[in-house]
Structure 1
């Protein structure tokens, strides 16, 4: 469906109300949760009141850009944008069902926590065609390459490399341990199901391996954030366990500073309360992207692997969490872990073979 300024304000079928998340019982303490929401919420929502706020799928950088967008990094800097229609506000998030829901929950919970009415916040889940079309803007020439996508790429890719830019993304190619590697970063978030479509698109374009580098939450209370890496090859996605052909094999898990275990996929940090934690106590890690990416790799017949910084602990409160990721000590510790990720990937490439073309792999 094509969204026009008039159609955005008309009643629509499938419009959902964003429920506020109860602060009591959430895995983040209230002051940290509020700080996390303040970092994410568009400044127009923080600065004034609106009769209605609707979150829709749409990548529109001509709309009002949030003053809270990140600085000092190359990728994942863009937030959802906004258009004003009198007393009504339309928020445009990159098209993905999980991201649209997640951002609506951010807005509703932020309003509730700041003593403002949240019942006017609704969201319109984007259709599959709209979501797929948004990812099809990604266009690279790949021929069996390993694609490394995600976070920290400016520290993983060669410092003298040149980034080639496309609509909402940038990439560069390099040789690592005699293997062709493409580093791919997005300016916008590839949250949840969007990340799965990115893997499917990369497979269509000719990738044979995809590695995702990012940040993951841990569920075991003894593991301190920003001191460990995480990896694995299984995730609970929509109630079903998905296992993929792991690029790392047992190599990454054998490293002394790497944790491994079962991953569970969650559409939004806002949904991860104490009840959710109790139901998933046997799992090791949580994030929105790993599961959809692994499932997409399975369907496409390519290898996938993740190697993430453990960024926060849901079961125990530590000084570092998702509300203070820009603190100097956090940045320093993560820089050391990024160095480890670079080394583990290079060592893995030096000790692995290039996969056969799809359809001929034994």
Structure 2
């Protein structure tokens, strides 16, 4: 087993639990969300200290709460015990390490256990870059579609080729070479930006990200709409990119377009956060702004087409704590078909033809 301990010279940060009653998910729903994320060693026993670090180590103890029934984004952070101290290893990314530390601290506080034992050490820039050097594809101007729902977007008879923490397959769509790329681990936040940077190094032409966003607009029912756009608020500044979709996706039925906010952690999206952003912005997730900036820096096009999976401003039955329910899965399957049709329409150059609506 690989031992990964903190570097004291880099310092540790305390992960303070958030106030569950001020969060947009509400207390009960937030706890359900945390319970499906927290490593079983933390749920099952007590520790003197819990330290979250950047590291991709599948030889450490794998969580019993890892996802099933999916091809991608199934792996959770792993853990390694050192006596009464626990080291938790999340894929190297500053946002992901912070996010998972907040998850643990808030879970402990909500279950009546000491939360001040949780610290985290943000990984260094070189450590984060090195973690994605194992991504190695031969690209020559290809369109890469990365993210969620790929098993439905890619050809059903296609064969997935596996690398270190990822898998891919090739296809041709409307005469364009397309690579579908999925990761077994999370590409949360700044990790996703580095994925785009790495793909540009390998020769990608365009990147499309398919995933899920939260709505900041009241009355937008989850799992009934798609979201797109070309601008995000990142670190207090608006960033825009050369949009792969142009104005095509935004003109299709069942698609909403708007300004996006990049947030490093769902745990930070409380009601005060919502009040500051809801009047100007439509969507939130951790990755889109990071990927857009990386695409700009690399001189390539980027686009996103996401399912609106939850609503921070209006409470609906469906949220991030019950995503595996049958009705949610069915609705999302319909939306993934819609995403496939819009991407295909964009590649065939049918911008003058509006595809039929789904609502």
* TM tier relative to shorter chain: over 0.9
Hey, what does 2:174 align to over in structure 1?
177
* Separation in 2, partners of 1:119, 1:222: 38
Q: Deviations over 1:307-342 (max 9, x none)?
A: 000000000100000000000000000000000000
> Does residue 133 of the first structure (1) align with residue 130 of the second (2)?
yes
Q: Deviations over 1:252-298 (max 9, x none)?
A: 00011000000000000000001100111110000000000000000
Return the match for 1:20 from 13, 17, 32. Answer: 17
- CA shift for structure 1 position 10: 6.8
Hey, what does 2:79 align to over in structure 1?
82
- CA shift for structure 1 position 13: 3.5
> Does residue 336 of the first structure (1) align with residue 334 of the second (2)?
yes
Hey, what does 2:309 align to over in structure 1?
311
Q: Is the 8 A contact 2:2 2:57 kept in 1?
A: no
Q: Which residues in structure 2 correspond to 1:179-258 (within 5 Å)?
A: 179-258=176-255
Q: Deviations over 1:121-153 (max 9, x none)?
A: 000000000000001110000000000000000
- CA shift for structure 1 position 12: 4.5
> Does residue 50 of the first structure (1) align with residue 52 of the second (2)?
no
> Does residue 267 of the first structure (1) align with residue 249 of the second (2)?
no
For residue 40 of structure 1, give the secondary structure of its aligned residue in structure 2.
coil
Give the direction of change, closer, same or farther, for the CA distance of 1:9–1:246 in structure 2 (3 Å limit): closer
Hey, what does 1:359 align to over in structure 2?
none
Q: Deviations over 1:91-111 (max 9, x none)?
A: 000000000000000000000
- CA shift for structure 1 position 222: 1.1
* Separation in 1, partners of 2:6, 2:157: 48
TM-score (norm 2): 0.96
Give the direction of change, closer, same or farther, for the CA distance of 1:301–1:17 in structure 2 (3 Å limit): same
Return the match for 1:99 from 91, 96, 99. Answer: 96
Q: Is the 8 A contact 2:193 2:294 kept in 1?
A: yes
* Separation in 2, partners of 1:94, 1:253: 33
Give the direction of change, closer, same or farther, for the CA distance of 1:147–1:8 in structure 2 (3 Å limit): same
Tell me the number of residue pairs that the alignment of Structure 1 and Structure 2 aligns: 350
Unaligned runs of 5+ in 2: 352-359
Hey, what does 2:356 align to over in structure 1?
none
Return the match for 1:291 from 271, 289, 292. Answer: 289
Hey, what does 2:114 align to over in structure 1?
117
* Separation in 2, partners of 1:63, 1:197: 25
> Does residue 300 of the first structure (1) align with residue 298 of the second (2)?
yes
CA RMSD of aligned residues (A): 1.3
- CA shift for structure 1 position 25: 1.1
* Separation in 2, partners of 1:352, 1:78: 38
For residue 24 of structure 1, give the secondary structure of its aligned residue in structure 2.
helix
- CA shift for structure 1 position 14: 2.1
Structure 1 residue ranges (4+ consecutive) displaced by more than 6 angstroms after TM superposition: none
* Separation in 2, partners of 1:10, 1:177: 51
* Separation in 1, partners of 2:54, 2:90: 5
